[in-house]
């Protein structure tokens, strides 16, 4: 996992070469985007998922404020620029496949545009089967036994 720190305790922001190397190492979608998960640094709560392109990632790393790419508006947006619900980014990590980012943030106010702390506070869409219970019919159909 590669991490870029933008902590306020860091003496300088990452250099242009460091940012370019990080961007180059990522696996973007065909549209030039990568999913970015924002997580509250001190509680571990997942706040939201948004998209980043190379420019929004560069701006995030250089400024320390979360900047994303809006697919619906086709433009960059700094989280909280109009609402005041900013995300100060403490670190950015890439997953093992280098196709998803995890931003550790300090969220001011609610993260979700609906006014909730997290975009993931809605009701659960489906409850999966408990894998510790009896084997499912799918397991039996595959010939798996306990």
Structural domain boundaries in the chain: 3-141
- Spatial CA neighbour of 69 closest among 116, 108, 28, 8: 28
- 110: its two tokens: 């609610």
DSSP 3-state of 58: helix
- The CATH homologous superfamily for domain 3-141 is Phosphoribosyl-AMP cyclohydrolase (3.10.20.810)
Q: Which residues does the annotation place in the binding site?
A: 95-97, 99, 112, 119
Confidence of residue 11 (pLDDT cuts 50, 70, 90): very low
Quote the Cα angle for 35-109-102, to 5°.
Answer: 25
DSSP 3-state of 76: strand
Question: 31-61 pLDDT, tens per residue?
Answer: 999 999 999 999 999 999 999 999 999 999 9
Amino acid 6: pLDDT: 46
Q: Does the structure show a pLDDT above 90 at 138?
A: no
Three state DSSP letters for 1-62? CCEEECCCCCCCCCCHHHHHHHHHHCCCCCCCCEEEEEEECCCCCEEEEEEECHHHHHHHHH
Amino acid 144: pLDDT: 57
Average pLDDT of 22-35?
Answer: 96
Amino acid 31: pLDDT: 96
Residue 58's φ and ψ, nearest 5 degrees, are -60, -45
Q: Which residues does the annotation place in the binding site for Mg(2+)?
A: 95, 97, 99
Q: Does the structure show a pLDDT above 90 at 133?
A: no
Give the residue ranges of DSSP H helices in 99-146. 137-141
Question: Would you say how long the chain is, in residues?
Answer: 146
Q: Does the structure show a pLDDT above 90 at 140?
A: no
Q: Which residues does the annotation place in the binding site for Zn(2+)?
A: 96, 112, 119
Sheet of strand 46-52, all strands in order from the earlier edge strand to the far edge: 3-5, 87-94, 101-107, 34-40, 46-52, 67-70, 75-78
H/E segment holding residue 16:
helix 16-25
Taking the complete model, does pTM exceed 0.85, yes or no? no
Amino acid 16: pLDDT: 79
Average pLDDT of 1-20?
Answer: 62
Question: 72-116 pLDDT, tens per residue?
Answer: 999 999 999 999 999 999 999 999 999 999 999 999 999 999 999
Amino acid 8: pLDDT: 41
């Amino acid at each position: 996992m590669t991490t870029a720190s933008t902590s306020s305790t860091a003496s300088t922001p990452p250099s242009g070469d460091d940012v370019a190397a990080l961007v180059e190492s990522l696996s973007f979608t065909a549209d030039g985007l990568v999913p970015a998960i924002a997580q509250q640094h001190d509680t571990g709560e997942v706040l939201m998922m948004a998209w980043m392109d190379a420019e929004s990632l560069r701006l995030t790393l250089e400024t320390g404020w979360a900047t994303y790419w809006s697919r619906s508006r086709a433009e960059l947006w700094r989280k909280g620029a109009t609402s005041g619900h900013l995300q100060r980014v403490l670190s950015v990590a890439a997953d093992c496949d280098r196709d998803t980012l995890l931003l550790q943030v300090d969220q001011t106010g609610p993260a979700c545009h609906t006014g909730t702390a997290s975009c993931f506070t809605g009701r659960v869409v489906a409850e999966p089967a408990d894998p510790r219970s009896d084997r499912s019919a799918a397991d039996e159909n595959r010939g798996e036994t306990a």
